[in-house]
């Protein structure tokens, strides 16, 4: 039953329901158009700089040449070459191995630092700045710094090793040491970033929960395992996927420090793509490897979106 | 035992406890003892230090000065979890990733000495959930519960520990008015059932008055008064308590005692009910409790004035009555009393309506209307 306000009598709707429908439709359309107008520029950038290049990349995987001579359709040749090329397999293996070393290491170190920074009541600011500085270095500068740290003859580490009576270690010239060394440098560069990320996550957790847990008898370690880790899950999902995406594209520190050597022990997928495209001029092969990398990154992004979806 | 040791039937005892952050004193030294089974409410405006007292008892804040004893033991240097206290937080502090069952059981699963068997934990969880009527919700997550249900989970998590003392930090202030009234009743029922000492922080005087055995009124880090709800209402220790307790707020007027020791209020004379007469020439503050003043048609009314404003509350109305000389009182009237601004109103005062405070705000005595001068 309609409730009539007894204080007002005789008030009538001024428009017919037909007119209301028409006006509502126009109103909604205007709102939608405004939204598209603001999305437009981004959409253009997305299409021009991402969608078209990826499609062009996919087309290029079925062709050869195209820079100096005319492009030629070769079917699945590039795909066959990619999967049968031992160096392509090595580059994938190196990249995966590198990620498996660098990501867990940087997360564990950053988590410990974040917990420590979160626990100290004051004086954290200068430490945070110091920790973040390596992240601000371009990889080439970091590589330059580490040349002086790691060099077999005049690097500080080997200076210390010799002083202690040991034989100098050729960090970047040894096939078993080179990849872990590059991973170590990337960990050094990334620690500040991930420490800030985890610290932000920790700061956002409600303090009352920790008071409750303290009263409930949970010690520091159990508070970390039973509360902090599960509560930081969204942060971790983001961190793992994002770090994987970034690390799969490992290029600059390898390029600056070892150029893939010794004996291809540090060739990463990105470096191999760069070589194929710009040194060997093998567009089809480079495009295929690139396309594989893009698809992997897209799949990981999809996984991240799935894991981070709002669950109640 | 030292001379300071509290009696055995005292559950919590705070002796000369004070709190400061650096040079900033947030709590002046005070004493407070809570008996076994007693329900004590800490009442005061925001920032008065009431939550700090709870946190110090819980061990979440360090004590700057003094001693805290829980169940007869000095706990200043005991970790929170070993203090035998359980706390209910304003925002419930439920673990969002755990089910209601796991939330309630958490203190027991964390218990090392003694380490409890799964069956024992489950049985006690079910009992605690039953006390707060949560049995049907044991497998839900906190996000799937209403505010009142969440608060009951927090309560069950406190109950399950069977602590010596319950600490509750504004547990109902996130609930809407109706639910709050219901939860007040449930909390009191639970308290009656388990009969443990409870310290309850609130800024809501209705919660304090309806729930407390005793109320501790705080303002700006100082205890203003400790007493039964009735004492606070009938004999407020000072102007702060007089105005903080009771609704509507008690209006206060600064007056001077005449040289003959008589206190004039508008056109009437007030006589204090204390043995000591009011000092001639002293500055005093007079407050009149609105709910103890009522309109009358009697010619022998205490005050006569002009109605200025009327607040309709449904059950009754309150009139602001101008008595002249810059003085006014607020008076209870019938809900449907036909009074308009400008009407002449006669006012009678019940015993205990009038309070006289000294210059510093401390209560000197009650007063009654001696006679009308005209």
Q: What 8-state DSSP symbol labels residue B362?
A: B
CB A204 within 8 A of CB A232: no
Answer yes or no: do A217 and B157 touch at CB < 8 A: no
Mean pLDDT of A57-63: 86
Tell me if B20 sits within 8 A of B9, measured CB to CB. no
Among candidates B83, B86, B89 on the partner chain, residue whose Cβ is nearest the Cβ of A208: B89
**Interval B159-179: pLDDT, tens:** 998 899 999 999 998 888 888
For chain A, helix, strand, coil in percent to 5 are 70, 0, 25
Q: H or E segment at A165? A: none
Confidence of residue A256 (pLDDT cuts 50, 70, 90): confident
The burial class, CB within 10 Å (0-12 / 13-18 / 19+), for B345 is buried
Are the C-beta atoms of residues B368 and B354 closer than 8 Å to each other?
yes
Where residue A68 falls among pLDDT bands split at 50, 70, 90?
low
Residues B191 and B295 placed together within one structural domain of the fold: no
Residue A166 has a pLDDT of 80
Asked if B62 and B207 sit in the same domain, the reply is: yes
- Mean pLDDT along residues B14-27: 92
pLDDT (average), residues A122-139: 86
**Is A217–B86 a contact, with Cβ atoms under 8 angstroms apart?**
no
Is the predicted pLDDT of residue B23 greater than 60, yes or no? yes
CB contacts < 8 A (A, B): 61
pLDDT at B297: 85
pLDDT at position B7: 58
**pLDDT tens per residue across span A79-115:** 888 888 888 889 988 998 999 999 999 999 999 999 9
Mean pLDDT of A66-79: 76
List residues bridging with B33 in a β-sheet: B13
Chain A environment of B81 (Cβ under 8 Å) = 214-219
Within a domain: B2: no
In a domain, B3, yes or no: no
Residues in B closer than 8 angstroms to A230, CB to CB, are 97
Of B241, B264, B286, which one is at a domain's C-terminal end? B241
Nearest chain B residue to A230 by CA distance is B97
Band of pLDDT at residue B240, cut at 50, 70 and 90: very high
Tell me the chain B residues in contact with residue A228 when contact means C-beta distances shorter than 8 Å.
none
What is the percent of chain B where pLDDT is above 90?
53
B15 has which bridge partners? B67
pLDDT over 70 at A139, yes or no: yes
pLDDT score recorded for residue B372: 57
Are residues B274 and B309 part of one domain? Answer: yes
Q: Reply yes or no on whether the pLDDT at A21 is more than 50.
A: yes
Compare CB distances from B80 to A215, A227, A312 and report the shortest one's residue: A215
- Using 50, 70 and 90 to split pLDDT, how confident is the model at B12? very high
Which tokens hold the place of A251? 């290029």
Is 70 exceeded by the pLDDT of residue B16? Answer: yes
Q: Which of B241, B268, B299 is the last residue of a domain?
A: B241
Q: Chain A partners of B59 at a C-beta cutoff of 8 Å?
A: 214-215
In this prediction, residue B2 has a pLDDT band, given cuts at 50, 70 and 90, of: very low
* d(C-alpha B75, C-alpha B59), whole Å: 8
**Cα distance between the two ends of chain B:** 66
Q: Which pLDDT score is estimated for A10? A: 61
Alpha carbon separation from B62 to A149, A287, B18, B68 (Å, rounded): 47, 64, 10, 11
A231 contacts in chain B (CB < 8 Å) = 96-97
How many distinct structural domains can be found in chain B? Answer: 2
Chain A positions touching B97 (Cβ under 8 A) are 230-231, 233
| Confidence (pLDDT) at B39 | 96
In a domain, B246, yes or no: no
Q: Tell me which residue in A215, A230, A231 faces B81 most closely, judged by beta carbons.
A: A215
CB nearest to A206's CB, from B91, B97, B111? B91
- Residues A163-195 pLDDT 10s: 888 888 888 888 888 899 999 999 999 999 999
Q: Nearest CA of chain B to the CA of A209: how many Å?
A: 5
Name chain B contacts of A212, Cβ cutoff 8 Å: 87, 89, 93, 157
Joined together, the tokens standing for residue A267 give: 């060739």
| Per-residue pLDDT at B4 | 47
Is there a contact between B110 and A214 if contact means CB atoms under 8 Å apart? no
CB contact under 8 A, B60 and A211: yes
- Specify the pLDDT at position B188: 93
CA distance B12 to B75: 10
pLDDT given at position B371? 62
- pLDDT at position A6: 64
Of B4-18, B37-51, B175-189, give the lowest mean pLDDT range.
Answer: B4-18
pLDDT value at residue A11: 61
Residues B336 and B269 in one domain: yes
- Name the fold adopted by A87-307: MetI-like fold (1.10.3720)
The Cα B361–Cα B252 span in angstroms is 10
B284/B210 same-domain check = no
Inter-chain CB proximity B112 and A230 less than 8 Å? no
Whether residue B150 is found in the same domain as residue B59? yes
Rounded to an integer, the average pLDDT of B349-371 is 85
Nearest residue of A to residue B158 by CA position? A216
Of all residues in chain B, the one with the smallest CA distance to A233 is B97
- Please, are residues A205 and A137 in contact by the beta-carbon 8 Å criterion? no
The reply to whether A206 touches chain B by the CB within 8 Å rule is yes
Does residue A214 carry a pLDDT above 70?
A: yes
| Of the partner residues A215, A226, A227, the one whose CB lies closest to the CB of residue B87 | A215
Q: Which residues of B touch A227 (CB under 8 A)?
A: 95
- Using one digit for the tens of pLDDT, what is the confidence trace for B192-204? 998 999 999 999 9
Residues of B engaging A, defined by a Cβ cutoff of 8 Å = 55, 58-60, 79-81, 83, 85-87, 89-91, 93, 95-97, 106-107, 110-112, 143-144, 157, 161
Return d(Cα B218, Cα B14) in angstroms, integer: 15
Same domain, B78 and B181: yes
β-strand pairing of B344-349 with B303-312: antiparallel
Note the pLDDT tens digit of each residue in B101-142: 999 999 999 887 778 889 999 999 999 999 888 999 999 999
Cβ of residue A204 closer than 8 Å to a chain B Cβ: no
The answer for residues whose C-beta is within 8 angstroms of residue B3's C-beta and 6 or more apart is: none
* Chain A nearest C-alpha distance from B288 (Å): 40
Average pLDDT, chain B: 89
Question: How far does A110 lie from chain B, in Å, by closest CA?
Answer: 24
The span from the CA of A215 to the CA of A205, in Å, is 17
Say yes or no: B102 and B234 in one domain: yes
- A212–B81 C-beta distance less than 8 A: no
ipTM over 0.90? The verdict is no
Choose one of B211, B241, B271: the last residue of a domain.
B241
* B215/B255 same-domain check: no
For B346-350, what is the mean pLDDT? Answer: 89
For residue B86, what are the contacts with CB-CB under 8 A and spacing of at least 6? A215, B107, B157, B158, B159, B161, B163, B165, B166, B167
Residue-wise pLDDT tens digits, A286-296: 888 899 888 88
Domain annotation covers residue B149: yes
Contact B90 A209 (CB under 8 A): no
Here the tokens at position A227 are 């509360």
- Let me know the angle formed at the C-alpha of B214 by B208 and B220, rounded to the nearest 5 degrees: 65
Kindly report the nearest CA distance between residue A303 and chain B, in angstroms.
21
**What average pLDDT does chain A have?**
85
Do both B259 and B130 map to the same domain?
A: no
Q: State residue B374's pLDDT score.
A: 47
Instruction: Tell me, yes or no, whether B288 lies in a domain.
Output: yes
Q: How far is CA B222 from the centre of its chain?
A: 14
Asked if B51 contacts B170 with a C-beta cutoff of 8 angstroms, the reply is yes
| B366/B231 Cα distance (integer angstroms) | 13
Among the partner residues B79, B93, B106, nearest to A208 by beta-carbon distance: B93
- Domain with residue B175: its CATH number is 3.40.50.300
Element (H, E) at A59: helix A52-60
Q: How many Å apart are CA B57 and CA B214, to the nearest integer?
A: 18
Kindly report the length of chain A: 312
Provide the pLDDT for residue B196.
Answer: 93
3-state secondary structure of A139: helix
Q: Which residue has the higher pLDDT, A242 or A281?
A: A242
Farthest CA pair distance, chain B: 82
Query: What is the reported pLDDT for A311?
Result: 55
Angle formed at CA B114 by CA B112 and CA B116, multiple of 5 degrees: 85
Same domain, B92 and B223: yes
> Nearest Cα to B328, choosing from B294, B304, B312?
B304
- Candidates B22, B57, B60: best to mutate against A (most CBs of A within 10 A) is B60
Which of residues A122 and B144 earns the better pLDDT score? B144
Q: Cα(B218)–Cα(B232) distance, rounded to whole angstroms?
A: 12
Note whether B106 contacts A213, CB cutoff 8 Å: yes
CA A307, A309, A226, A220 dihedral sign is positive
Report the gap between the CA of A204 and the closest CA in chain B (Å): 14
CA gap A292, A269 in Å, rounded: 10
* Range(s) of the domain holding residue B304: 251-372
Q: What is the pLDDT of residue B43?
A: 95
Segment A246-265 shows an average pLDDT of: 86
Report the pLDDT averaged over residues B294-313.
Answer: 87
Domain boundaries, chain A: 18-60, 87-307
Q: Give the integer Cα–Cα distance in Å for B154 and A2.
A: 43
Residue B5 domain flag: no
Position A19 scores a pLDDT of: 86
Global pTM? 0.75
């Amino acid at each position: 039953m309609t409730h009539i306000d007894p204080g007002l009598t005789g008030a009538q709707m001024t428009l017919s329901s037909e007119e209301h429908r028409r006006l509502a439709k126009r109103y909604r359309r205007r709102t939608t158009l405004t939204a598209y107008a603001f999305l437009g520029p981004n959409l253009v950038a997305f299409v021009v700089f991402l969608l078209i290049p990826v499609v062009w990349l996919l087309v290029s995987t079925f062709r050869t040449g195209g820079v100096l001579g005319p492009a030629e359709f070769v079917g699945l040749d590039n795909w066959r070459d990619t999967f049968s090329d031992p160096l392509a397999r090595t580059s994938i293996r190196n990249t995966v191995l590198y990620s498996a070393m660098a990501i867990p290491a940087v997360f564990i170190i950053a988590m410990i630092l974040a917990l420590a920074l979160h626990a100290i009541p004051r004086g954290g600011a200068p430490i945070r700045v110091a920790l973040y500085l390596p992240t601000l270095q371009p990889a080439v500068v970091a590589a330059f710094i580490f040349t002086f740290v790691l060099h077999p003859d005049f690097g500080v580490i080997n200076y210390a090793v010799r002083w202690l009576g040991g034989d100098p270690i050729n960090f970047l010239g040894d096939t078993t040491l080179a990849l872990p060394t590059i991973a170590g440098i990337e960990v050094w560069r990334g620690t500040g970033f991930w420490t800030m990320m985890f610290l932000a996550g920790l700061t956002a957790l409600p303090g009352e929960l920790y008071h409750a847990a303290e009263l409930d008898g949970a010690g520091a370690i159990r508070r970390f395992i039973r509360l902090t880790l599960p509560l930081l899950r969204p942060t971790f999902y983001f961190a793992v996927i994002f770090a994987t995406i970034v690390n799969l594209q490992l290029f600059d520190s390898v390029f600056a420090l070892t150029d893939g050597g010794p004996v291809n022990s540090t060739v990463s997928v990105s470096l191999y793509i760069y070589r194929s495209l710009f040194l060997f001029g093998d567009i089809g092969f480079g495009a295929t490897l690139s396309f594989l990398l893009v698809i992997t990154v897209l799949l990981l992004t999809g996984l991240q979106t799935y894991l981070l979806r709002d669950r109640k | 035992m030292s001379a300071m040791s509290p009696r055995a039937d005292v559950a919590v005892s705070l002796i000369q406890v004070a709190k400061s952050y650096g040079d900033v004193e947030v709590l002046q030294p005070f004493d407070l003892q809570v008996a076994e089974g007693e329900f004590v409410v800490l009442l005061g405006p925001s920032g008065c230090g009431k939550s700090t007292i709870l946190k110090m008892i819980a061990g979440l804040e360090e004590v700057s000065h003094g001693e805290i004893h829980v169940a007869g033991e000095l706990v200043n240097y005991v970790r929170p979890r070993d203090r035998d206290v359980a706390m209910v937080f304003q925002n419930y502090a439920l673990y969002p990733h755990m089910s209601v069952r796991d939330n309630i059981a958490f203190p027991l699963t964390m218990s090392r000495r003694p380490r409890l068997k799964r069956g024992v934990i489950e049985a006690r969880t079910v009992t605690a959930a039953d006390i707060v009527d949560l049995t049907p919700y044991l497998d839900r997550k906190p996000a799937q519960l209403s505010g009142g249900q969440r608060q009951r989970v927090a309560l069950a998590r406190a109950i399950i520990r069977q602590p010596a003392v319950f600490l509750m930090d504004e547990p109902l202030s996130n609930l809407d008015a109706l639910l709050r009234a219901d939860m007040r009743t449930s909390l009191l029922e639970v308290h009656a059932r388990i009969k443990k000492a409870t310290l309850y922080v609130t800024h809501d005087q209705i919660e304090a008055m309806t729930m407390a055995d005793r109320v501790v009124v705080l303002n700006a880090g100082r205890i203003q008064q400790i007493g039964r709800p009735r004492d606070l209402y009938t004999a407020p220790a000072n102007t702060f308590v007089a105005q903080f307790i009771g609704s509507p707020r008690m209006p206060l007027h600064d007056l001077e005692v005449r040289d003959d020791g008589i206190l004039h209020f508008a056109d009437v004379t007030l006589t204090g009910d204390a043995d000591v007469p009011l000092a001639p020439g002293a500055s005093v503050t007079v407050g009149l409790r609105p709910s103890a003043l009522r309109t009358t048609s009697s010619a022998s009314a205490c005050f006569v004035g002009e109605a200025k404003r009327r607040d309709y509350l449904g059950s009754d109305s309150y009139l602001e009555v101008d008595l002249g000389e810059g003085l006014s009182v607020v008076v209870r009237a019938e809900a449907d009393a036909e009074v308009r601004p400008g009407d002449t109103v006669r006012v009678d005062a019940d015993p205990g309506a009038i309070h006289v405070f000294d210059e510093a705000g401390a209560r000197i005595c009650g007063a009654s209307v001696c006679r009308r001068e005209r």
